Chains A and B, each alone.
Chain A
């Protein structure tokens, strides 16, 4: 479904992605893990061109989206993205947050967009919050609404950029459960996260990144029990600690 070929990205001389290639197939759940600054967020953000790679190509549904002639806005409509800091629109109500893009892009008339949004809100049990503003909600609620906002565009693939890193510990579960539900419904997902439990139980494949490269690509059971890469071993030993 999405094929990343030899992408490179530098920020002011700092080489963040070094010739990274990966393929994500339809229906797959790929979890990207790695230490901070390893380039995993940049890698994810390149997929919908929030960061434009300096070189290399990204093939989405058979088309190179890094090509100047491709319309990135249409491509992004099919790629949902969930951010660490939710990025809900504070000046709009929950319902308006969800319906803004479908309405302004003329994909749905207002009435239909509203109905669709209410269905989605019911699903996450927040339909009673539809007329509230995001700042009145908890972090977990905001992130679930952000996920639903992406879903309202009926994306082919969902990208998650550390969706639980900014949450209070007791909010993490509700967000991960929603993501797991999505996974079980067959959504194609790429998730950058530090939640190893989620990676173990949901991922089809783990990408381990460090210093701008994918150092190991493995299925979760092998990766967590017996990582091949030395750096991955070290990383896992540090995060899966017993005190």
Chain B
């Protein structure tokens, strides 16, 4: 596509209000293009949200398996599988993973948003697993012993004593991971999905005007990231109840 200076109208040097409105109109109003942006926002949020949930679930499971495998040799095969998973996912670009999912694994599926959710969820899981493992290991060993000495079994100790403390320790890192994930979903457009970035692209290819579409896309991401940051802060405050003030 043609690259041009942001608001250029037939060699005129200054941008008048009229042209500004005209361009705005073209980007958002004509053909109800604002709806495209809304669809993009909706899809991006859907993908990021569910991918986050899948990421947390996979990440915690993998982290717990790998932590438990240190004590229980019977789990070594699972530990090995987890290691392979983390290595492959972290070792390949998410775009390639997405294309593989779309072209080779979910060949007969039309629901591309679902494919994107799976891809980004599985991708995020590998990173969350490493973060969570570090978090679990950061909890004092005495906590495990105290739980066990009260007669709680290992999984109850893990669930009620270790994990809440681990989650608190890793909240900042998790927050970063999910902010990164949200922005990473901008490559979802490599397969037929109208995510936010792709919505901007489609509009731009219709209007031949990059200004409003790109800045709108950027602003939307920024607002979403700020929202995530606020959620993160709130969670951190909630989990830090037991801290010395």
| A55 interfacial by beta-carbon distance below 8 Å | no
Give the A interface residue count (CB, 8 A).
31
Take A85-B142, A90-B165, A104-B156 as given contacts and tell me if A135 and B242 are in contact as well, using a CB distance cutoff of 8 Å.
yes
Q: Give B136-164 as 1s and 0s: 1 = Cβ < 8 Å from A's Cβ atoms.
A: 00001011011011111100100011001
Residues from chain B with a CB closer than 8 A to the CB of A105 are: 151-152, 156
Query: Which of B151, B153, B241 has the most chain A CB atoms inside 10 A of its CB?
Result: B151
Complex interface residues of chain A between 47 and 79 (CB less than 8 A to chain B):
48, 50, 73-79
Q: Tell me the minimal C-beta distance from A24 to chain B in angstroms.
A: 17
Interface check B168, CB cutoff 8 A: yes
Contacts A90-B165, A91-B168 given; indicate if A101 touches B143 (C-beta within 8 A): no
Residue on B nearest A159 in the bound complex, by CB? B149
Once the chains bind, are B145 and A100 in contact (CB under 8 Å)? no
* Interface contact A91-B152, CB-CB below 8 Å: no
Residues of B within 8 A of A136 (CB): 244
Chain B contact residues, majority secondary structure: helix
CA distance A150 to B242 in the complex (A): 21
Interfacial residues, chain B to chain A (CB-CB below 8 A): 140, 142-143, 145-146, 148-153, 156, 160-161, 164-165, 168, 239, 241-244
> Is A83's CB under 8 angstroms from B146's CB?
yes
Nearest to A97 among chain B residues (CB) is B146
Shortest CB distance B123–A (Å): 30
Complex alpha-carbon distance, A48 and B147, angstroms: 12
Q: Encode A86-102 as 1/0 by CB contact (under 8 A) with B.
A: 01111110000000110
Would you call B140 and A87 a contact (CB within 8 A)?
A: yes
Q: Could you show 16 A-B contacts with beta carbons less than 8 Å apart? A: A48-B149, A73-B152, A74-B151, A81-B145, A83-B149, A85-B142, A87-B142, A90-B242, A90-B243, A91-B168, A100-B150, A105-B151, A105-B156, A133-B242, A135-B244, A136-B244
With a cutoff of 8 Å between Cβ atoms, the chain B residues found around residue A83 in the complex are 142, 145-146, 149
Cα separation A136 to B142 with both chains bound (whole Å): 19
